[in-house]
Amino acid sequence: MNSLLDPSFDYTPGMATDIQETFERVWRQLDEREQQDLSDVDRDSLWLECDSDLVDSASVQILGVRRSGLGVEMIEFVCPHCNGRHESLRFR
């Protein structure tokens, strides 16, 4: 994005701006940013109480899953670090 102080900045008066095109561009840029962010984040993680670490849910033995009315999942599992039973929200 060019700065207003940049001499190459091409100013478009508000009355000449195509608002629909502007919003489509903004939504497209936000979608691209979200896709980049999601590729770097572990999308299925559990929090370990014993050492406050996040681990991939595939790396633990899951003992049970509870779902609330709001769609929140609580996972009971065997901790790979301390072999104790833990319960955590599933972070997606």
Instruction: Please report the pLDDT score of residue 19 as a whole number.
Output: 86
Tokens matching residue 20: 């629909």
Instruction: Please report the pLDDT score of residue 39 as a whole number.
Output: 44
Q: Cα(90)–Cα(3) distance, rounded to whole angstroms?
A: 42
Is residue 80 within 8 Å of 39, Cβ to Cβ?
A: no
Regions of the chain short of the pLDDT cut 50: 38-42
Instruction: Please report the pLDDT score of residue 36 as a whole number.
Output: 63
